[in-house]
Structure 1
Amino acid sequence: MIKVLGIGSPFGDDSLGWEVVKQLQAQEVFQSVAPHQLQFIICDRPGLGLLQWMRGADVAFIVDAVQSHGSAGFVHRFEDEDILSLPNALSSHELGLAQAIQIGKAIEDLPEKLIFYGIEIDGASYDFQLKSIIKESIHELTQQMQQEIIQFLSHD
């Protein structure tokens, strides 16, 4: 089972995780994939609830907005143990991704493979629309993730 989780909120650049999930879910290539093989999930600032959403997955992709003082639109990619070393400040939400993953590891309730994609945002924005640089990154990331998901599906 592969789960793709878009984390965020419905507002501005923080909605980018949701937008990636929506675009992936709409891809024709995934329309015939059975729900027990692939699930797309939108999570509204889940905190520890992220662990519940990942339960039952062999592979989990997580997409979220990040703030690390990098250039807006830059795409970060981390896997498995590397996620544990992420600074909690990287997340744009209360509970950092690394904290949630550390707890999941402690209770031995994580997918075998965990991949985190974070798109750099400029900071807290009160815009209701995605910035154009973020839209471009979403498009590129969607294409990249589509190929990666197809590879994992072909190994089943």
Structure 2
Amino acid sequence: MNNGAQIMVAGIGSPHGDDQAGWEVARQIERRGLTHVRVKLARTPADLLDWIEPDMNIVICDACRGAGAAGSVHHWEWPCGQLDEIRWSGTHQMSLVGVLALAEQLGKLPEHVQIYGIELQSDHSEETISDIVQSGVIAAVESICEKLNPAVRQGEMEHA
């Protein structure tokens, strides 16, 4: 995923329950201190339109429903027809799919767009993330960082 371009990791969410999953993924990646990665927190997918640029790679993280069991992590590359079947968390006025399609029409869409969804626990609306979704957050962070950090990938290649 890192082809020398700047990478933006955008977490979409809110400060409520499992809807925090996208934000938490982004925050944990930011704590890793990867110099080629910028982190942004969005309340709605439409916020992405202010930040994305065609010459960057983007990783979008959000809580979702309809892709699998609670806490499961899903990865898609844009464009992907399967995204139309997924319900994203929150009450977004403009869907993630709609925002990406608009960015493409405006000539703002980066060549590489990765989307990670962490499946919500449907009955969890507390202030904190449920344990099962927190496990998904950790798995998503590890998966994303493995792809983002060239030193990790290089080390794996040398030992393979």
Specify the code of the residue in structure 2 equivalent to 1:73. Answer: G
2:22 corresponds in structure 1 to 17
Q: 1:64 aligned to 2:62?
A: yes
TM-score under structure 2 length normalisation: 0.81
Name the stretch that deviates more: 51-60 or 10-19. Answer: 51-60
Paired residue secondary structure (2:136) = helix
2:3 corresponds in structure 1 to none
2:113 corresponds in structure 1 to 114
> RMSD of the alignment, in Å?
2.4
Alignment of 1:1-156 (within 5 A): 1-27=6-32, 30=34, 33=35, 37-44=36-43, 46-55=44-53, 57-68=55-66, 70-82=68-80, 85-87=82-84, 90-93=87-90, 94=92, 95-123=94-122, 125-151=124-150
Specify whether residues 58 and 152 from structure 1 end up closer, same or farther in structure 2 by C-alpha distance, changes over 3 A only. Answer: farther
- Give aligned-pair identity as a percent: 26
Unaligned runs of 5+ in 1: none
Specify whether residues 4 and 153 from structure 1 end up closer, same or farther in structure 2 by C-alpha distance, changes over 3 A only. Answer: farther
Specify the code of the residue in structure 2 equivalent to 1:48. Answer: A
Paired residue secondary structure (1:81) = coil
Specify whether residues 61 and 47 from structure 1 end up closer, same or farther in structure 2 by C-alpha distance, changes over 3 A only. Answer: closer
Structure-2 separation of matches of 1:80 and 1:65: 17
Specify the code of the residue in structure 1 equivalent to 2:103. Answer: G
Unaligned runs of 5+ in 2: 1-5, 155-160
Name the stretch that deviates more: 122-131 or 2-11. Answer: 122-131
- 1:144 Cα deviation after fit: 1.0
Residues 56-109 of structure 1 deviation map (CA, whole Å, 9 limit, x = unaligned):
552100000001163101111110211x55126521232211111111111111
Structure-2 separation of matches of 1:104 and 1:42: 18
- 1:123 Cα deviation after fit: 3.1
Note if contact 1:3-1:57 (Cα within 8 Å) is conserved in structure 2: no
Structure-2 separation of matches of 1:58 and 1:145: 16
Specify the code of the residue in structure 2 equivalent to 1:15. Answer: Q
